[in-house]
A and B are shown apart, each in its own frame.
Chain A
Amino acid sequence: MRLADWIERERYLVATALMIGLALPALAQTPERKVTAGGSCLACHLQLDEARLHDPAAAFAEDVHNRPGLGCVTCHGGNPKAEDPEEAMDPKKGFRGAPKIFDIPKLCGGCHANDAFIKKFSPSLDTDQLAQYRTSVHGQRIASGDTRAATCISCHGVHNILKVSDPRAPVFPTHVVDTCARCHADAALMKPYGIPTDQVTKYRRSVHYEALTKRNDLSAPTCNDCHGSHGAAPPGVSSISNVCGTCHLQNMEFFQQSPHAEPFAEMGSGACEACHGNHEIKAPSDRLVGMGKGAVCAGCHDIDDPGGTTAAAIGASLELAVEMDDRAKAEVADAERKGMLMEDADVELEAANEELVKARIQVHKASLQAVVAHTSKAVSAAKKALEAAAAARREIRTRRAGLSVALALILIAIVALVLKIRQIER
């Protein structure tokens, strides 16, 4: 058989063999050492034993700058094509060695603040980081000559810089708190600035931290979502509600419509913070509302003043709706456990839950009317669910009564048959 004929006949086999053959060299590559930029710098540094000189070169394999070919020379200068170390690291050829801490923001900004350059690599990447950094407390400290203040590499790392979206990156949402904590939870480091160091501990007890780390909700806020990242600064007391309102939009809108908005603005007091706290924000409970124990309204109002009366009425309205909803849920669940299909009741429970959520948001208006408009609907829906549960209970009783009658009739028939069999066989 001619080779051409054989190839024609076995074309699928040949194609498969070719594909495997072509794929083998790619499979043979080791992924760990994909250093594509760096030239002679890496060639030498990777062979050095001294960790200080070897490790940065090794770490660069994973660096986000490595893949597009931005090698050591981009930050350190010098001539990566030169084989001779003296020539490669010749200051006359622009070699600058390790940049000084004060120079780092400008060095990074050299590329990252350059629109035209950055767009070549990542068109969607912002280029205002340097400008923002200069407005931050960190940037201002650096500008004033404070070497302990954070620069780009304090948060992003150096030589092994990863994309923000990389879950291993120190600036990935779940790691931000640890990154900030490296300085802000260090009492000795923070002492000269007179700022507290318990924010991280408090934040880790908050509902936001729980959402971020336990429910893996990456949209939950961490340090930089409230304080900013490159332009990091503590939010001013008067602007706290704007910060919270970034996510809790409706709560902020309703608060602005409330009788509380003006006095809080006049006092220059942080509105959200006054009731919910700041770093250690707990899951809000209905007990915060009203004039009872644990209610925040009682912190400012007396039960006799109009505000106190309204707060008490709002608290009572919420309490009634929640109580009815809980009862309805329990009774519907009980019917479901007994095998009843309760899809109508489930719809009502869903409606009650929706109205309760709305009522809780309306609480920020501090208006009894606004809250009751929703709690009354929640109560009405819960009542319908309770009625459905009561109907299910009646149905269960009817079924069991019917079963008793059926079993009695069957028993009579069995007895009659047994007697008849005995009579026949006697």
Chain B
Amino acid sequence: MGIAKKVFDYLDTRYELAPVVEFAQHKEVPRHRFEWAYYFGGFTLFFFIVQVFTGILLLLYYRPTAEAAFESVQFIMTRVQFGWLIRSIHSWSANLMILSAFFHMFSVLFMKSYAKPRELTWWTGCLMLALAFGFGFSGYLLPWNELAFFATRVGTDMVSKVPFVGDWLLHVLRGGEDVTGATLTRFFGIHVAVLPMLMAALLGLHLLFVQRQGIHVPVGLEEESKKRPGMKFFPSFAMREAVVWLIGLAVLAALAAYFPWELGIKADPFASAPAGIKPEWYFLFMFETLKLFPAHVLGIEGELLGLGAFSFLGVFWFLIPVLDRRSARGERSPLFTWIGMAALAYIAGMTILSFLGVFS
């Protein structure tokens, strides 16, 4: 008897694993012309795993104070063996994780996989995307460089526009009036403790829901799916997913080797803000939209109105499984396809135009 069998038997007698194995052996992934979209969830998970590992390694040298943060990242990049690789992969992987999450979200939206009974899977996914934005926003400040410092000042300033509690929120977020070492310390805490804990819980739930409910077949593809035998999750789908993960790893390695993540210059709170401050690319569509708002609309501050509009759209997006009744009944729902197309076009369009410098 092999060691693996002995270990399995040991666990099986205590935890009754046989039904789990049985479930895994029979689990299938439907096959149809859009089955490639099923890989984005796993692809996002891969980048998250990379984030966890590289993040732990960075923690060995990173020091979260205004005095030492920049120098510690500089030390990681220049003195620590493969420090440059770990930090560059961490930064690139963060961006690719969010890109992959966007693809995953829109593929779920277009296939209407959020519809009943999978509402909770959509909601946990939306919350995880919000957490990923939080990871990006809090992590951006940690190297304590000039660009991150001023972008964080602009970004945190937006919460002050929230009616009634804006100032209080700003103080809580910054740890004072302005972005200081106190902000850095709390962003660090949020980045390495609070967000990972929440993400682990939501990720666990999200995966549990997917496994429990199985993979959704879009309306109109049921016939095609029935005609083709399903793909065994183990080992066929898992091995295909592994191929995708390896491609992701190759892309990360190439990006890190050819385009090591920049460090910039150390933040100087007393210096004037450099020209052309922009947030990370995934916030650009909101950033540019808010800039386009006039200073005042019907007596209301333009920025507040913009934030209100985005909040409303965010809530709408979150509630799509409830609002799209046709999908819940298993019918085609072209309206929500068009809404998804418009959102995708707007986000992609504004981001590209921002990179092209149209708004500057």
Spell out A's residues near B (CB within 8 Å): 339-341, 343-344, 399-400, 402-403, 406-407, 410-411, 413-414, 417-418, 420-421, 424-425
Contact = CB atoms under 8 A, between A and B. Distances in A.
B250 A410 contact: yes
A421 B262 contact: no
Contact of B236 (A399, A414, A421): A421
A201 B193 CA distance: 68
B69 interface: no
B257 A341 contact: no
A417 B236 contact: no
Contact of A403 (B239, B243, B257): B257
Interface in B233-280: 235-236, 239-240, 242-243, 246-247, 249-250, 253-254, 257-260, 262-263
Contacts of B262: 339
Given A339-B260, A339-B262, A341-B77, A421 B250 contact: no
Nearest to A396: B257
Contacts of B247: 410, 414
A343 B74 contact: yes
A421 B263 contact: no
B78 interface: yes
Contacts of B242: 417
B254 A403 contact: yes
A399 B257 contact: yes
SS class, residues of chain B in contact with chain A: helix
| Max chain B Cβ within 10 angstroms of own Cβ: one of A339, A343, A420 | A339
Contact of B260 (A340, A343, A414): A340
Nearest to B263: A341
B235 A402 contact: no
B78 A413 contact: no
| Max chain A Cβ within 10 angstroms of own Cβ: one of B243, B257, B263 | B257
Interface of B: 74, 77-78, 84-85, 235-236, 239-240, 242-243, 246-247, 249-250, 253-254, 257-260, 262-263
* CB-CB nearest 7 A-B residue pairs: A339-B260, A403-B257, A410-B250, A399-B257, A341-B77, A406-B253, A421-B239
A342 to B, nearest CB: 9
A417 B263 contact: no
A344 B50 CA distance: 31
A407 B254 CA distance: 8
Contacts of B243: 414, 417-418, 421
Given A410-B250, A414-B246, A417-B246, A402 B257 contact: yes
Contacts of B235: 424
A336 to B, nearest CB: 10
Nearest to B231: A425
A410 B77 CA distance: 25
Nearest to B241: A417
25 contacts: A339-B259, A339-B262, A341-B78, A341-B84, A341-B263, A344-B78, A399-B85, A399-B257, A400-B257, A403-B258, A406-B253, A407-B253, A407-B254, A410-B247, A410-B250, A410-B253, A417-B239, A417-B243, A417-B246, A420-B239, A421-B239, A421-B240, A424-B236, A424-B239, A425-B236
Contacts of A424: 235-236, 239
Contacts of A406: 250, 253
Nearest to B262: A339
Given A343-B78, A421-B240, A425-B236, A403 B253 contact: yes
A414 B84 CA distance: 26
Contacts of B77: 341
A340 B78 CA distance: 8
Contacts of A417: 239, 242-243, 246
Given A339-B260, A417-B239, A407 B78 contact: no
A399 B77 CA distance: 13
A244 B227 CA distance: 94
Contacts of B263: 341
| Max chain B Cβ within 10 angstroms of own Cβ: one of A402, A414, A420 | A414
A411 B78 CA distance: 29
Contact of A410 (B85, B239, B249): B249
A418 B244 CA distance: 11
A339 B254 CA distance: 13
Nearest to A413: B246
Contacts of A420: 239
A372 B6 CA distance: 79
A402 B85 CA distance: 11
| Max chain A Cβ within 10 angstroms of own Cβ: one of B77, B78, B263 | B78
B27 to A, nearest CB: 15
Nearest to A418: B243
Nearest to B77: A341
Contacts of A399: 85, 257
B72 to A, nearest CB: 13
A123 to B, nearest CB: 32
Contacts of B239: 417, 420-421, 424
A400 to B, nearest CB: 6
Given A399-B257, A410-B253, A424-B239, 18 more contacts: A339-B258, A339-B262, A344-B78, A399-B85, A402-B257, A403-B253, A407-B254, A410-B246, A410-B249, A410-B250, A414-B243, A414-B246, A417-B242, A417-B246, A421-B240, A421-B243, A424-B235, A425-B236
Contacts of B253: 403, 406-407, 410
A339 B92 CA distance: 14
Contacts of A400: 257-258
A114 B78 CA distance: 67
A398 B263 CA distance: 21
Contacts of B257: 399-400, 402-403
Contacts of A402: 257
A98 to B, nearest CB: 49
A339 to B, nearest CB: 4
B252 to A, nearest CB: 10
Contacts of B259: 339
Nearest to A400: B257
Nearest to A420: B239
Nearest to A425: B236
A341 B74 contact: yes
B236 to A, nearest CB: 6
B250 A407 contact: yes
A400 B257 CA distance: 6
B174 to A, nearest CB: 27
A400 B84 CA distance: 13
A344 B260 CA distance: 18
A105 B239 CA distance: 98
Nearest to A339: B260
B39 to A, nearest CB: 14
A421 B244 CA distance: 13
A69 B259 CA distance: 68
A410 B251 CA distance: 11
A407 to B, nearest CB: 6
Contacts of A340: 260
Contacts of B260: 339-340
A421 B242 CA distance: 11
A220 to B, nearest CB: 23
